[in-house]
Amino acid sequence: MSQRTSVIAGNWKMNKTTSDARIYVEELIGLVAGKEGVEIILCPPFTCLAEVNAMLEGTDVRVSAQNMHFEELGAYTGEISAGMLTDIGVTDVILGHSERREHFCEDDESLAKKVPAAIDAGIRPILCVGESDEEREAGSTETKLERQLTQDLAGISGGQLAGIIVAYEPIWAIGTGKTATPQIAQEACAFIRKTLAGEFTPAAAAQVRILYGGSVKPGNITELMVEEDIDGALVGGACLTASDFARIVDFGR
């Protein structure tokens, strides 16, 4: 663990109605009240963002969307802009999650526009990068990470880098129960920091929070968090129960 403030983010993906969200958030607030030394982020679906944000008023828990469009407005049926998100109090946005890259044709070209569009609107991007099973076996993990980082962050300056969060999410570990070992996760996160130092400056790269994501649970968060370049976790399945998520927050501090 480093001097950087830890971040524990819970990605609900396409789960929970507004009434489910109310029950969850009420329980979570009670469980995480007063916990210091960790930044907590909830990433509900679009339909729950306003409600969750209203319930979290007066707490330090941040609210993140799971995607956004890079244009401010216009004829983009089904899309949501950064301005629409800030309008309802959203502070962060997950960009480039592998499920969006895989199922919704999200590419590095659009991410290169989304990252600066989010920053310009005052929203902090949580940029996800990671390799597939085949890419790891072929020895091309670093090439993939380097390509995603350089292309997706092409539109931002060194000064803006410190304000983003990067999540290393190996695709083979997402929703599979197959967590990366702390050593594998650390190696990849250290490589990400080194790449950012080369593309921007070592000082800016040293400030970036790098999260690990992929089958994080209360039982494996501690061993991941002791690693030097892992500053937190992006949690999917295990965040859907408030008590499990609160335990991850506890161990992730």
The torsion region of residue 191 among left (phi > 0), alpha (psi -120 to 50) and beta comes to alpha
Hunting for tokens 């991941």 — which residue is that?
A: 224
Nearer to ligand PGA, 158 or 175 (CB): 175
Nearer to ligand PGA, 70 or 172 (CB): 172
Nearer to ligand PGA, 171 or 208 (CB): 171
Strands 124-129 and 92-95: parallel
Phi, psi of 198, deg, nearest 5: -70, -40
Contact range with ligand PGA by CB under 6 A, out of 48-56, 150-158, 188-196, 210-218: 210-218
The strand pairing partners of 129, in sequence order, are: 168
Out of 216, 230, 242, 249, the residue judged to bind ligand PGA by CB under 6 A: 216
* 6-45 footprint of ligand PGA as x/- string (CB under 6 A): -----x----------------------------------
Nearer to ligand PGA, 163 or 237 (CB): 237
Identify whether the C-beta of residue 91 lies closer than 8 Å to the C-beta of residue 123.
yes
Q: Is 169 a catalytic residue?
A: yes
Within positions 63 to 102, which residues make up the interface with ligand PGA, using CB under 6 A? none
The torsion region of residue 102 among left (phi > 0), alpha (psi -120 to 50) and beta comes to alpha
Identify whether the C-beta of residue 38 lies closer than 8 Å to the C-beta of residue 235.
no
Q: Does 213 bind ligand PGA (CB under 6 A)?
A: yes
Q: Does 236 bind ligand PGA (CB under 6 A)?
A: yes
Looking at 39, 69, 97, 135, which residue is catalytic? 97
Q: Does 234 bind ligand PGA (CB under 6 A)?
A: yes
Identify whether the C-beta of residue 42 lies closer than 8 Å to the C-beta of residue 52.
yes
Q: Is 109 a catalytic residue?
A: no
Residue 11, CA atoms < 13 Å, CB-side half-sphere: 26
- The residues annotated as belonging to the active site are 97, 169
Residues that bind ligand PGA (CB under 6 A): 11, 169, 174-175, 213-216, 234-238
